[in-house]
Structure 1
Amino acid sequence: MAHLKRTLIHYQKPIVKFTSILGVILLIGIAFFILKSGFFSNPDRVQGWIEEFGSIAPLAFLGLTFVQVVIPVLPGNVSTVVGVMLFGIGLGSFLNILGIFIGSLANFWLARRFGRGFASYFVKEETYNKYIGWVNKGKRFERFLWISMIFPGFPDDFICLIAGLSKMTLKKFIFYFLLCKPVTLFFYTLVPIYGMQYLYDMFQSF
């Protein structure tokens, strides 16, 4: 068992490094796109560009959001902000919530199906060791789950994996997600967008 754990960690390290490097590259690319697209100065132009792709664009973004939850490359709030910027508050928020919901269900099921080996695969060893102890804490873990969904700073995707390792039912997991995640996701998406808009307007006034 100890040999298996060492093997998992051995193969986990290059995956974590690769996703971290890819995440940095994507962040730079997203920042460059936001600056060059003229989103804050001419958001209608960006909306028109997205509309040219038709129904493919929202479906592609939904797929990317799903993959991002299962294989975390970017911080979750980055992709949600991009979604609202590209598709507007209504459709963008819906795509964010739906993609994250499907991805979280996948994480829950994958952890329940494949166990702790899978749960440790895409996170750093320190993160795994820090949170895995919550698995057997019953009601305390349930409180921890909804707290992690409401407040920022928690590795939500990995905690959904932990939920799959616990004795929590799928029905209860869905209940906590739908109760906590949509409202907080909406709030934590709009605050950065309006914050960036404020900073852009402030620098433009100089």
Structure 2
Amino acid sequence: MDRQKAFAYNRKIVQIVTVIGIVLSIMIALAVYRSGYFKGDGEAFRQSLEAMGGLAPILFILIQVIQVIYPVIPGGVPCLVGHIVFGNALGFTYNFIGITIGSIINFYLARNYGELLVRSFVSDEQYDKYHHWIDQQDRFGKMLFAAFALPGFPDDFLCMVAGLTSMSFKRFMGIYLLSKPLTLYIYTMIMLKGAGFLSDMLNIFVRGGH
């Protein structure tokens, strides 16, 4: 099997698994919603968390790690859930731990398995868009800092691209720790406020309809 066929074959597998994951996520979400698990004051949900004890944050961090390596739903959703379920301080902590572990894994997956793996997760167009940075380590470091600090960049994919460069893990983590924590907190809080506003507007609309 030549390289192009290998890229296409691996990418097809990733796409199929992604679709299956999305469908399963929607089905689970609908089942939970219909069960009334979160209705009222959410007491049933809180009791479940309390019964899980220390396992709850561990499971959430694991979900966040998996989400970074193999995104099935938009990355902002787990971040919002973390803040809503665990509060701002612990929610941010668990989010950051999970995202950091996932980012490190992405870096080392690319470093160990190379281009064949990385190209399996993105289109040729997206790969080509960032591939030219691989041989420009100094400029790539600055771009990576901007990508972690600003919205709109494929952060998880760029962690893999970093693994393809000659950038040391120490420098990668230095850039990550300088740019990621504050912006992650700020953007999550903005999304949280936006979600609260939309929820209030929806409640007003529903009450107005009655």
Query: What TM-score, normalized to structure 2?
Result: 0.85
CA gap 1:57/1:187 in 2 versus in 1, 3 angstroms:
same
Q: Indicate the residue corresponding to 2:125 in structure 1.
A: 126
**1:9 matched to which residue of 2?**
8
Q: Please say if residues 119 and 127 of structure 2, whose CA atoms lie closer than 8 Å, have aligned partners that are also in contact.
A: yes
Largest Rg, 1 or 2: 2
1:10 Cα deviation from its structure 2 partner:
2.1
Cα RMSD over matched residues?
A: 2.4
After superposition, what is the alpha-carbon deviation per residue over 1:70-93, rounded to whole angstroms, capped at 9, x for unaligned? 122222111111121221111111
CA shift in 2, pair 1:33/1:176, >3 Å: farther
Instruction: Quote the residue 1:66 is aligned against.
Output: 65
Find the aligned partners of 2:12 and 2:83 in 1 and give their Cα distance: 33
Does residue 109 of structure 1 match 2:108?
Answer: yes
How do residues 14-163 of structure 1 correspond to structure 2 at under 5 angstroms?
14-23=13-22, 25-26=24-25, 29-30=28-29, 37-38=37-38, 42=41, 46-163=45-162
Higher relative contact order (CA 8 A, sep 6+): 1
**Equivalent position amino acid for 1:105 in 2:** I
1:65 touches 1:96 (CA, 8 Å); kept in 2? yes
Instruction: Verify the 8 A CA contact 1:47 1:87 in the aligned structure 2.
Output: no
Gaps of 5+ in 2: none
**Which residue identity is paired with 1:145?**
L
1:181 matches 2:188: no
**1:191 counterpart = 2:190:** yes
Q: Counterpart of 2:138 in structure 1: which amino acid?
A: K
Match of 1:116, SS? helix
Secondary structure of the corresponding residue to residue 201 of structure 2: helix
TM-aligned CA deviation for residue 203 of structure 1: 2.9
Give 1:46 deviation, angstroms.
Answer: 3.9
CA deviation string 1:163-202 (max 9, x = no partner): 0111111111111111111111111111122211122223
Q: Report the Cα distance in structure 2 between the residues aligned to 1:82 and 1:104, rounded to whole angstroms.
A: 19
SS at match of 1:52: helix
SS at match of 1:147: helix
Residue 6 of structure 2 contacts residue 116 of structure 2 at CA under 8 Å; is this kept in 1? no
Structure 1: segments with no counterpart, 5+ residues: none
4+ runs deviating over 3 angstroms: 27-39, 41-49
Matched AA of 1:107: N
Letter in 1 for 2:173: I
Shift in CA distance, 24/107, structure 1 to aligned 2, threshold 3 Å: same
Task: Indicate the larger mover: 22-31 or 99-108.
Answer: 22-31
Aligned length: 204
Aligned equivalents of 1:48, 1:91: Cα separation in 2: 18
Deviation at 1:15? Answer: 1.4
Gap change, CA 1:24 and 1:176, over 3 Å in 2: farther
